[in-house]
Structure 1
């Protein structure tokens, strides 16, 4: 027996479940196929549980500086198992919430592994047998998984991926983190605050390679002041030994080899898409650098087949996946006024200490693209709210086109910047220029005043520096 739907979504992560809900809201009969966990990697093993763990690390950092605010505490105990339990509990609660939303919107949820076995046909494999689904539209939202390096793959024992790093039985006394993207930097910060001696290795010239150089430099300086060893233009060739006594061969930037002795290794060197054994090659689906190639409306090279989120390529971010899910469904449903995704307007956030948030072009990219730019910068050391909080490290940097006043990029590093970057996102969406932004009245005292001052600084009008 074949079940027929208007839309079948394969993958229940932040792209897939949002696409399914929106399709159902638009009156389309919709099925969602999920092999393991509703919410996907983001909710179960990424965005959400890491933030719960990082909150624990923040509490640990605060306890070390109680004296600044007049408090003292003795015999403070830490239980990593309780922090892990809190993290897992948060994920479970949200997974239950997604199941409720899907049921509320009359989405048929099917447990199992989905494969596209013909145009418009999905076969779901599960313990109880195969189920065949027919659909006018099939949306692939299968996400991605940790990428291994040559000779270095996460084994869950000596070399962790983020899966194992989120459920440690104990805090390793020393940790080598390979890769300094958002995942690597967040775990380096987390485990440093929990008491590990952390070494961070990055093959590129700077840590956080996609971020503005000024931001990356400040984060590296802060990490090193915290005791985190940072090695750029370096690579790990091999890992030998056993947990607690690992020998890691590292080639440094000058070509010298060095052996690092650590208790644990975490591999955070990027991700690769989940496209294997899905029947895509047989259908003639086109790929680009391993990811599914799509047009601005998330359509693949096969009619009626779409791809959203990580499986469709960078930037591999949950909010990008959700946005693509909505625009994909609205476009195929014929909703008027739908706009394609402008990837230059997708914010990126890293929840380390200090936090990092960015939007648009870096200063180097803006210059390379031929823009005549005006750059503004304002340090949190001159922001009253930041100083009152004891968090005066960081800055806001704005990049405008000097002729048109267009906001080309915004880069923030410091306290709670991940909660503020949307202000610049709204400005970009509404096509506000430096003139309009300079006239916005920001409340005092707030951290966001640094955003205003950075705009004013780009016009040589900064008031407090």
Structure 2
């Protein structure tokens, strides 16, 4: 006989486990099904452990440049195994935390491979045993996996995905990073700071192509200055691993193809949604290039089947998945949540320097027909940035000239992944330039640049 619940969630990533907690808070009887580890890719193999690695490389960079702060640090080095071990311990600590949250919120955790067998029915295979679950509503939160190159699959030895790149057994000497989105740039930044010779290959005309053009241009110069080789408008026509390295056939923007040797390669060309073999086809759940189609509440075309997170399409971000989970659960529970507004989802890249943004780029706003007021303020004009020794970067704000609506904000520099939330709140509250101008910002802080950027859009910047 099947175990019966109000809601069953397939997948325990940042979408699934957050949805489970909110459902429990709303009085629903909830079960969550997970085939690997609670917390999903983000917690175990993505967002969190990569930030632990990047923190290590940041500190290593500061140690190597201690003299600029009046300090001495001789014979600076690192133990790769211990670097990786710290990252895994951070992930393990948070995995244990999610387990505790499930217990605290009385969420039943069912380990195994889940398949939706009919409306309201889900079968979980646990080795030789199968557990049957029933619920009026099922949320699919199965996430996504790294996309392979069609001509060169990751082998974990010389050709890596992000999972391999997080647990290296040896330090690359010459690294090829294929793709310049957030994942590619973060790994390029980490390995470059740790001493590898890094090259990034990008098919599009600029790196970080979803960001504002000025941010991309700044990052191009900053990463190049750090020693990273950037090849834009460049394709990859072959990748052949050997015992000692990997040979890449690189098609440059002039059309010429050249072979180059690397010790390792990281494939960072996007993701594939985990929608296969979980029963969606038989139920007639609509998909678009593998991603489940949903409305603004996470509802699919099949009654009682919902979907959230990476499996539903871009942006592929943990915080988007979590918010979608809360919206879906509140709708299931009979509430009236606001639909997901993807224009208010911040994007962050945790490289050195960091990148963060929300809303429209200047180019997108112009394409949409807006008359604009654009403000920029550089880090070099901010006292806190200079004191920190982080005087490179800028904050850019884009306003509708007619209404004062904040259309977008774009940042590059130290700690901007923390600063961006101020603009996200401003957009959520539908704040105009007037409220932002009249807000008092603490001194000395990096956040003062946000104020100055708004002032600059209207010709009122004080310190630059």
State the TM-score, normalized to the length of structure 2: 0.99
Where does residue 139 of structure 1 map in the other structure?
139
Q: Residues 111-122 of structure 1 correspond to what in structure 2 (within 5 A)?
A: 111-122=111-122
Query: Is 1:380 matched with 2:376?
Result: no
Aligned equivalent of 2:364: 365
| Equivalent residue number for residue 104 of structure 1 | 104
The answer for the alignment partner of 2:323 in structure 1 is: 323
What do residues 210-262 of structure 1 show as CA deviations (whole Å, max 9, x unaligned)?
10010011111111111100001111111124153321000011111121211
User: Cα deviation per residue 1:403-424 (whole Å; 9 max; x = unaligned)?
Assistant: 0000000000001000010000
Native 8 Å contact 2:283 2:302 kept in 1 = yes
- 1:17 corresponds in structure 2 to 17
**Is 1:451 matched with 2:442?**
no
Which residue is 1:202 aligned to?
Answer: 202
Residue 130 of structure 2 aligns with which residue?
130
Aligned-partner Cα distance in 2 for 1:26–1:128: 35
Deviation string, structure 1 residues 346-403 (Cα, Å, up to 9, x no partner) = 0000000000000000011000011111100000011111011111110000000000
| Aligned equivalents of 2:164, 2:119: Cα separation in 1 | 38
How far apart are the structure 1 equivalents of 2:229 and 2:407? 33
- Which consecutive unaligned segments of at least 5 residues does structure 1 have? none
CA distance in 1, matches of 2:110, 2:194: 40
Aligned 1:45-444 pairs, distance under 5 A: 45-336=45-336, 338-444=337-443
> Aligned equivalents of 1:73 and 1:424: distance in 2?
38
Asked whether the equivalents of residues 19 and 329 of structure 1 are also in contact (C-alpha less than 8 Å), the reply is: yes
Deviates more, 1:323-332 or 1:147-156: 147-156
- How far residue 128 of structure 1 moved from its aligned partner, in angstroms, is 4.3
Tell me if the contact between 1:243 and 1:263 (Cα under 8 Å) persists in the aligned partners.
Answer: no
Tell me the alpha carbon deviations over residues 93-148 of structure 1, each in whole angstroms, 9 at most, x when there is no partner. Answer: 00001001111111000000111011110000111411111110000000000011
Match of 1:463 in 2: 462
Q: Is the 8 A contact 1:381 1:393 kept in 2?
A: yes
For the 8 Å contact 2:64–2:73, the answer to whether it is kept is no
In 2: Cα distance, 1:106 partner to 1:20 partner: 9
Quote the Cα distance in structure 2 between the aligned partners of 1:234 and 1:429. 38
- Is the 1:29–1:107 Cα contact (8 Å) retained in structure 2? yes
Contact 1:243 1:264 in 2 (8 A): no
2:101 is paired with a residue of what secondary structure?
Answer: helix
Aligned length: 464
Give the equivalent residue in structure 2 for 1:26: 26
Structure 1 residue runs of 4 or more that deviate by more than 6 Å after TM superposition: none
Distance 1:158-1:438 versus aligned 2 partners, 3 A rule: same
Q: Residues 248-291 of structure 1, C-alpha deviation per residue, up to 9 Å, x if partnerless? A: 00001111112121100000000010011011111001011220
Measured in 1, the distance between the counterparts of 2:135 and 2:206 equals: 46
CA deviation profile, 1:148-170 (whole Å, cap 9, x unmatched) = 12212212122100111000112
The whole-number CA distance in structure 2 between the counterparts of 1:33 and 1:245 is 40
Secondary structure, counterpart of 2:436 in structure 1: helix
SS of structure 2 residue aligned to 1:134: strand
Q: Is the 8 A contact 2:234 2:253 kept in 1?
A: yes
Please give the secondary structure, in 1, of the residue aligned with 2:199: strand
SS of the residue corresponding to residue 9 of structure 2 reads strand
Match of 2:35 in 1: 35
CA distance in 1, matches of 2:254, 2:434: 47
Distance in 1 (CA, whole Å) between partners of 2:444 and 2:109 is 48
Provide the alpha-carbon RMSD of the alignment: 0.8
Q: CA deviation at 1:77?
A: 2.8
CA contact (8 A) 2:10 2:139 kept: yes
